[in-house]
């Protein structure tokens, strides 16, 4: 039995779809790295937690300000964590470096190697 909330499942499905679309555009099979899979798990766990907190918030007595503030703070923290974690997940590879950039980087490395050897 899958314990994921529908919100978490939807987000994971959308990220998988983005990766699949990037695979088609690049004409190569892209897959999540181990670190990205763990990040996706953490994202889904956090979304699930946020859903549970939001349910508690709606069930909370409107006059219970202390608990409503605690819950809203936790919800905001979940939102911030999901945003930070999503920034770590890339669904596409960067554009390949141009030949000109490769030459420039090689020239810089030659200069630095000479300076290191002399120093």
Q: d(Cα 61, Cα 66) in Å, to the nearest integer? A: 10
Q: What is the pLDDT of residues 27-82, one digit of tens each?
A: 888 899 999 999 999 999 999 999 999 999 999 999 999 999 999 999 999 999 99
**Nearest 10 degrees: Cα torsion 53, 87, 37, 22:** 130
Spatial neighbors of 36 by CB under 8 A, at least 6 apart, are 88, 89, 90
Taking residue 78's Cβ as centre, other Cβ atoms within 10 Å add up to 20
Taking residue 8's Cβ as centre, other Cβ atoms within 10 Å add up to 23
Please give the residue that has the higher pLDDT: either 53 or 117.
53
Spatial neighbors of 23 by CB under 8 A, at least 6 apart, are 29, 30
pLDDT above 50 for 1: no
Residue ranges covered by each domain of the chain: 6-118
């Amino acid at each position: 039995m899958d314990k994921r909330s529908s919100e978490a499942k939807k987000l994971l499905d959308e990220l998988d779809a983005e990766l699949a679309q990037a695979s088609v555009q690049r004409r190569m099979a892209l897959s999540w790295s181990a670190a990205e899979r763990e990040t996706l798990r953490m994202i889904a766990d956090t979304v699930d937690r946020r859903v549970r907190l939001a349910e508690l918030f709606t069930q909370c007595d409107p006059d219970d300000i202390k608990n409503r503030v605690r819950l809203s703070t936790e919800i905001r923290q979940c939102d911030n964590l999901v945003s930070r974690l999503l920034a770590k997940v890339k669904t596409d590879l960067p554009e390949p470096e141009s030949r000109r950039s490769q030459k420039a980087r090689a020239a810089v490395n030659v200069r630095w190697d000479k300076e290191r050897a002399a120093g």
